[in-house]
A and B are shown apart, each in its own frame.
Chain A
Amino acid sequence: MARISQIEGNFQFRERSQWWSVTMLSVCVHFPGLTESVIAAACSRVGQSVLHLDRRNYYAGNWASFTFNGLLSWIEQYKQEVPITELEQVWRSLIDEGEDAVPLSALDSSISNLEVFCYARLHEVSEPKEDQHTSDISEPSQSQEEKESQLSSSPADPTVEVQKKITYQKLVKEGRRFNIDLVSKLMYSRGALVDLLIKSNVSRYAEFKNIGRILTYRNGKVEQVPCSRADVFASKQLTVVEKRMLMKFLTFCLDFEQHPEEYQDYTEKPFREFLKNKKLTENLQHFILHSIAMVTQHTLTEEGLKATQHFLRCLGRYGNTPFLFPLYGLGEIPQCFCRMCAVFGGIYCLRHSVECLVVDKVSNKVKAVIDTRGQRISCSHFVVEDSYIRDEQRQSTAYRQISRAVLITDRSVLPSESDQQISMVTIPPLESSAPAVRMVELCSSSMTCMPGTYLVHLTCSSSGKAQEDLAPVISQLFHVSTIPGEEPSEVLWVMYFNMRDTSALDSSSYSLPSNVHVCTGPDDSLCSDYSIKLAESVFHHILPDEEFCPPAPNPEDIIYDGDGPQAKGPGFDESTNTECLESSQE
C-alpha cells in the first residue's frame, strides 16, 4: 500500500484538534470509491474545502485492489464482520434543539456469498532423484516404437522443461506482486473516464497498458475476434467474402446516423435481427453481437449500433483494441483522484467514519456530521456511498447483484507467442436463461500478478450465487482439477463473491435531506461511464456554477506566495537575476 503514504505526505499535516474547530467544511465525502473520489477532487479543485473519510484502513472502498495477503485479510474481515456497538449516547449529547439525527449504517453488506477454493498444492513436494524422474516420465505412455527410437536417439532431451507448478506457499510469499481488484472494468479509449483523466490531468498520476486482444468463446473454443483492419486482414477464420462483409458493416456503423434508411425499419426490433437481415454470416453475427457491441439478444437496433460505433471509434487511439487498463489495477484510479483532491487542499482520514448526520429541522438540510470519535464537524454537503444508508432511509430496496470471480492461473486461456498481453474475453450465455459473462485476463506486466501467473477476473449480472453463475464457465475455459494424479489444475486459486449493484437506484430511492448525495454503483457494465457521469451530476448539484475538473495547471505556471522574486523556477542563476528584478518592477 505504498500509495497511501504518498498521498498522506502531500497534504499539510496539522494537529487533529486544530482543524476540527477551524473550518466549516464545504463537502464531507464518505467512502473513497470512484464516484466519491471524483466528486471530492472536483470540489477541492475549485477551492472547496473537502474532508474525505472512510472507516476502512485502505482507500477505494469497494473499488480497492489488494495484494494477495491483503485480500486474505479482507476475506477474514468479511467472515468476521460484526456490527460495532452503537455509541448512541455519545453523539446524542451533541444534537441541539431544532436538529435531528440521521444515523448511518455501521455494517457493510455490499459483499455476499464469498467462497474461496484453492487448487494449488500447499507446499512444494521435494523432487525425486534424477534417474527416477526420467523413468517416471517415460513409463506410462511408452509404446514399443517409442522405446526403440529412444534407444537409438540421444538420451532424454535436456531442454524439455518441466514447469514447476506454483504452490500456495509461493503465492503467499509473492503476495505483494498481486493487485487484485474487487471491481473488474476496462477503460474505453474515448470513454468518460479517459476523457476525464485527460481533461483534469489526473492521468499523470497513473500509467496504462493496452488490452492486447479480444477473444470470444464459441463452439467450445476460445477464438480471437477480429476488430481492427489489421485483425480482419490477418484472420484465418474468415473467408475473404466475410472480411468484406464485416468491414462494410463496420464502416456503416461508424457513421450509421448518416444512413437512417438502412436501419429505420428495425428501430423497434432487436439488433440481433437487424444483423441477420444484413445477411451477415453466423460467424460475423456472433462477433458483432457479443464481442463488439456486447449487447444482449433483446437489445434494440439503435442501441446496438451505438455500442458498435463506440467500440469502433475507440479503436486505434492507443492501440489495436479500444481498451486500456491501469497498471497496478483499477484500484489506482480512485486513488489518483484522491491525490488530486489532496493537492488542492482536501483532507484524508482513514479508519475514521461518520456516525450520524445532523439535520436542521427547519431547512431539512444537513448542517454537520458526527464522527466515530464523537466530534461534530460542520459541513454544507454530504456525499456518501449507498452501503452506509440504513434501511429506514430507503424508499426502495430493489438491488441487483453482480457475480464476481477472481482466479489465479498459470496458463493463458488462449496461449500465444506473446505471454504478456491483457485479453478480454466475452462468453455468450451458455444457456438462454444465463447471463453473458465477461472475462479479463491480466498478465504479470500489468503489475497485478506475479510472473508465471495470470490474474483472471470474471463478471456477470447475477442469477444466483457467484459460484453457481461462474463455475460452469470457468470449467469450460480452464482445466480445474482437485484430483491428485490427474493433470494439474490450471486454476491455482479462485475466489467468488457477489457485489451489490445499486446503479438502478437514484435520489428518489432514499428519503434523505437534499444536500445529502448518495452515490450508487459500481454497475455491471464494462466501463466506468456510469460512475463518472454520476460524479459529474452530483458535482453540478453541489456547485452548479463551477467547472467540473478543469485541467490542473503545469507546475511551471504556478506562482507560489511568500516566495521572493528569485524563486520563480529551479536553477535560477546569477546572470539572469537582474532581468527578473526588472520585470517584477514593470
Chain B
Amino acid sequence: MQYQIILARRHNFQCVNAMTSHLEQLDYLTKEISNSFPGNEALISQLTTLITACPPTFTYINDPYTPRVTASLVNTLISSLSAVDATFFDDDVTPIIASAQVNAIACFTSRLFYDTTFNCLAKWRPRWEDGCENWPGAVNGLSSGGAGLSSPLKGGGEASLLNTAKAVRMVLVVDRAERLTESLPELLVPLTRLAELSKVDIHTIFISQSPWEDVKPSTGTAIDPFHLSVYPPLKEDTLRILTSRFPTDGDLAAMPHAYHPAFAELYAQYVSALFSTCSPFTRDPYELAYVAAAQWPSFIAPVLDAQKGATEFHPIPEDVRLRLLRVFLPSFAAALEALLPRRMHATAWSRMSDMADGVRIDEKNSEVTTCSLTTLQKYVLLAAFLASSNPPKTDARMFARGHEMRSKRRRGGGVRKTPQRNTKGALAKVGRGSFLVLSHHVP
C-alpha cells in the first residue's frame, strides 16, 4: 500500500516534471535552431508550437526569397522534434512525432513520392542485403491516388506506436510544393486534406516560392491552409549566417593558413564589405556564401604572403585591413557577375590569380571557341543570327507547306502593294542585340 502511494506520488511528480522538462527542452531546441538560422525566430517558435500543440491539418509556408534556407530550417526543426524521445515523458500531452520531408521536384513519380514518404515516416532504411525492400506497411496503400495514402498511414501510425499507447503525430513536409502542380497534380488536393481523408493525426506543410493562390487548384476542392510567410533576411541576420560559416578548424596553434581561426575577425569584415557590394543583386545567404567562399582564398593571399615564414600568427593592423578591403572592392562585383549566373564555379574562380581577369578570360575563351569553328559553322551561326530577326511571317512563308502556300498564289493582276511599314521599327522589335563575337571572324 505504502509502496503504491509512493509510486503514485512519484508518478505525479514525474508528470509535472515531464511537462516542464518537455517545454524546457522545446525552448532549448528552439533557441538552438534559432542560433543556426538567425532572423527566423518567429517562424521557428510558431512552427514548434504548432507541431507540438495542436496543429492545423494543412500549413502553407510561402517564402519567395530564400526557399532553400527555409527548407533546411524546417528539416532541422522537424527532425529534431521527432528525435525528442516522447516516451520518456509519461503524459498524454507530449506526442510522438514522425516526420518526412520530400521534395516535389525530386519525387517525379507518385511511386517515388510514396516510397520516400513511408520510408521516412517509419524511419525505415532499405538495405541491400534485404533486397532493398521498402517499409512493409506501405504495400497495401500503394495502389493509386491520394486516398490510397490513408490506409498505410494508419498502419504507419499504429506501427510506430512501438510499445506505448501514446498518440503518434505525423508531419509531412513538401518542398517546392509549387512544382506539385506539374509533377504530381493528382496528389495536390489529397495532400491538403490528408488528415481528413486518412483520419489520422497528420499535419501537412507545404513550402513554396509561389503564393497559395497560384498553386491552389481551380476546382476549389482543396482546403485553405494556415498561412505562414517568410520575410527577406535582414542584413544583420545574413551577416551572422555568413560569419558563422567561416570554415575554420579552430586550431589556433597552427601555422597561418587561409582558414586560420585568427582570421575570423577579418572574415567578418570581409563578409560585410561583400554584402554591401552584392546585396542589391542578391540577398540569398547561400548565394552570398558561395561568392564569399570563392573569393576568400585570393583575398587572404596577400595577408598570407606577409605572414610567410612566421612561426606564429601576427595580428593585422586596422589600416591594413581597410586598405585590403578597398583594393578588393571592385573584384567583389566581378565575382558576383561571374558566379551568380554560374558562368564559373567557385573552385575555378578561387584558383584564378587576378580576379579582374575573370571577364577577360571569358572573352578569350569565346574568342578561342570562335576561332576553332570551321568556315561552314561560322556561316551557319551567322545565318542563324540573321534569321532570328525575321518576322514570323517570313518563317511561315519559308517553312509552311502545301495548302496554305498554294492558296496565296493568285493569278494575274498587277503588282500588289505590300503595306508600308516602318521597317526600322519592325526590325528593332524582332531583332536581337548586336553580335560582336562573329563580326571579327567571318571571312
Is the pairing of A and B real? no
